[in-house]
Chain A
Amino acid sequence: MHDKQFKKEMLAESAQAFRAGRMDRRTFLALCGASGVAMNAVLAGDAEAAADHVVMWNWGGQSEECHGSAIGEAFTAKTGKGLKFDTSGPLEGKIKEMVDSGNVTADVADADLFNAVSLGPTGHLEPIDYSVVSKDKTLPGYALEYGVSIILYGYAFVYDTEAYGDNPPQNWADFFDTEKFPGTRALYKWANGSLEAALMADGVAGSDLYPLDMDRALNKIQSIKDDSLYWGSGSEVHSMVVNNEVSMAIIWQNRGRNIENDTDGQYKLVNNQAMAMPGAYIVPKGNPAGAAVMDFIATAQDIPAQLALLDCLGMTPSNPEAFDQIPEDQQPYAITSAMNIDKIVYNDPEWWGNNGGDAVNAFLEAIS
């Protein structure tokens, strides 16, 4: 009798420890096994433990703090569930590996919408439940079966005002014109945005970009190869610009403000022909929190969360209702603000999801 009581208490203790993350799953299961608790009881407890929080898989750094304050707090207030983070960066290969291994530990990944196109049909993602998540709270075409765009980021460029002060570059054609605007350029290494910019520079209209004419784009890219560097991360291009290594650089448009500040205005952001990229939330197949994650995604679509993400991370809302609430000082740096929305073009996640792998390889081969 005493034994039974002891076992019960021990298991209750360890279940709490497991829930709070102080004990790993293996130890917990071993204890359950040792005290002869049936497997189904353990699994029920396991599911329950997982259901009181949602794990967001993002890139860490500032986004951990911002996702917590912008979405996590409202989500907890609404549902009573917490928000935890995995900050290892949800690259496509890592999502595939996690789902294939059968050990899915994340509920929602802060990824690109084209990931939903490439990973969804192969069975690596849960479909978005549009009875909970709203199709109207994102741009048309950006609510897909396996992913929904929550924020927009963009590819724009900055230029050195000391180099081109009197006659500044105004569009991608100028960016690719090394005769009129001599100096080194920095482009994004993984092709995205760089290909579209090259095509627009070559005279393709922003609305006729897709399907991308790869040969034409790569020819244009190669025409400035000797005058260009390629960056792989936001901090890398930031340091290239701040250290004056380049005269023009394609950047993630949400970094524009930081670059202008860090260079005391020497570099200036150009949003003309900037490309809006749908950043999306996608759900790995068999996620531990199950359907609860849809509430989280819906919370992120709400206007307060959308504006808070803009304020904290510089990510532009994708919910059209939030567009006219973008504050005055964010107008130049938000890609869908009234100031910019008529100048921009939109990325096609379908094309990138289906052709992205080959496009990245062709691009890498062209620049190396």
Chain B
Amino acid sequence: MQALNRHIHPGWLIIAPLLLMVVALYLGPILNILWLSVTDPEPGFGNYAKLTEGDALIRIVWTTVRICIITTVFSVIFGYSIAYAMVHCHQRQKTYMLTLLLVSFWISILVRTFAWLMLLGRKGLVNVTLEDIGLVAEPIAFMRNELGVLIGMVHYMIPYAVLPLLVSMQSIDQRVMDASRNLGASGSQTFWRVYLPMTMPGLVASTLLVFILSLGFYVTPAVLGGGKVLMVAEYISVQLLVTLKWGTAAMLAAIMLFGVLAMLWIMSRFMKLSTVFGGAAR
């Protein structure tokens, strides 16, 4: 026992059950999916070769990545403004804003998606009003296209963008900004050269969170895209449930997984990722 203790820290024993659970419940299924992607319907890399056979699959992946990038950019910009306002307003207003933010988490994604149809649809509130006051002759096509998908997704993602930014902004020492002004920097110089760099870990964290969550969007594109905006998550679901091409589904899931891992790896080349996840910048 003592010999064992010398090589293995006893702390491992305490976390061993958890570690085993992670392996069994998380790594196991993932390996299973990777396995499926090279064995179904027949062993080999046939599923991956499909990516090169036609432009269809590549187009679906590209649509997904494009929509996710645009969603991330807008969500993080709006999220940054909201978080900034929350940190710098009075405590009372901040509490209201935080409550509203959290309430939005409790509303089902379906309800939020259909609410946009009521508002911006062809016979929605906005179009009817615009037509009534004579600003437009034909309803504006906000919904049932890529614009509709983006509106729905950005709206859903903003709260997710706010939270990491809020945490990061709250931990900043305000006196640094005072010092910057005191040393002669203008307001905007202080923001761009002092404040923004200090919130960078929060900015990266919220970008990663929003982008990765966006990749899995299914309901919003299906409803607001009018069937013409096909993203990977929906395509995977069709392959699993309708066309029974589980190998293709597993292959796409694997591509997404490796894509995200590669993205994290590239980012880790440029910055300490541990600061993004709350660790100290060593």
- Which residues of chain A have a CB within 8 Å of any CB of chain B? 91-94, 96, 118, 187, 189-190, 225, 229-232, 236, 239, 243-245, 356-358, 360-361, 364-365, 367-368
Contact = CB atoms under 8 A, between A and B. Distances in A.
A317 B147 CA distance: 43
A360 B238 contact: yes
B63 interface: yes
A92 B242 contact: yes
B99 to A, nearest CB: 32
B235 A364 contact: yes
B235 A94 contact: no
User: How big is chain B's contact interface, by range?
Assistant: 20 to 34
A357 B144 contact: no
Contact of A229 (B227, B238, B245): B227
B121 A357 contact: no
A360 B121 CA distance: 28
B230 A357 contact: no
A225 B59 CA distance: 17
B122 A230 contact: no
Contacts of B245: 357, 361
B228 A229 contact: yes
A245 B244 contact: no
A96 B40 CA distance: 14
A360 B240 CA distance: 13
Contacts of B242: 91-93, 190, 357, 360
B223 interface: yes
Interface string B235-272: 10011111111100000000000000000000000000
A243 B63 CA distance: 28
Interface string B56-69: 10011001000000
B228 A230 contact: yes
Interface of B: 54, 56, 59-60, 63, 117, 121-123, 144, 222-223, 226-230, 235, 238-246
B66 to A, nearest CB: 13
Nearest to A118: B244
List the 7 closest pairs (A to B, CB-CB), nearest first. Answer: A230-B227, A357-B243, A368-B230, A93-B241, A365-B56, A229-B226, A91-B241
B143 to A, nearest CB: 8
A232 B230 contact: no
A327 B229 CA distance: 43
A115 to B, nearest CB: 10
Given A229-B228, A368-B60, A92 B144 contact: no
Contacts of A93: 240-242, 244, 246
Given A232-B222, A243-B122, A364 B241 contact: no
A368 B238 CA distance: 14
A367 B54 CA distance: 15
Contact of B123 (A94, A245, A356): A245
Contacts of B54: 365
A368 B54 CA distance: 14
A244 to B, nearest CB: 5
Contact of A243 (B121, B228, B240): B121
A239 B54 CA distance: 35
Given A357-B242, A357-B245, A245 B144 contact: yes
Nearest to A96: B244
A154 B176 CA distance: 70
A36 B105 CA distance: 50
Contacts of A91: 241-242
Contacts of A245: 121-123, 144
A356 B238 CA distance: 12
A245 B145 CA distance: 13
Contacts of A357: 242-245
Which interface residue of B117, B235, B241, B242 has the most chain A CB atoms within 10 A? B242
Contacts of B226: 229-230
B49 to A, nearest CB: 16
Contacts of B241: 91-94
A334 B235 CA distance: 34
Contacts of A244: 122-123
A240 to B, nearest CB: 8
A230 B121 CA distance: 15
A245 B118 CA distance: 12
Contacts of A190: 238, 242
A92 B244 contact: yes
Nearest to A225: B228
Nearest to B222: A232
Contacts of A239: 117
Contact of B144 (A118, A229, A367): A229
Given A93-B240, A190-B242, A368 B229 contact: yes
Nearest to A360: B243
A239 B227 CA distance: 14
A368 to B, nearest CB: 4
Question: Chain A CB within 10 Å — which of B60, B122, B238 has the most?
Answer: B238
Nearest to A236: B223
A365 B240 CA distance: 16
7 contacts: A93-B241, A190-B238, A190-B242, A230-B227, A243-B121, A357-B243, A360-B243
Nearest to A366: B56
Contacts of B56: 361, 365
B28 to A, nearest CB: 15
A361 B228 CA distance: 13
A87 to B, nearest CB: 16
Contacts of A367: 227-228, 230
A368 B243 contact: no
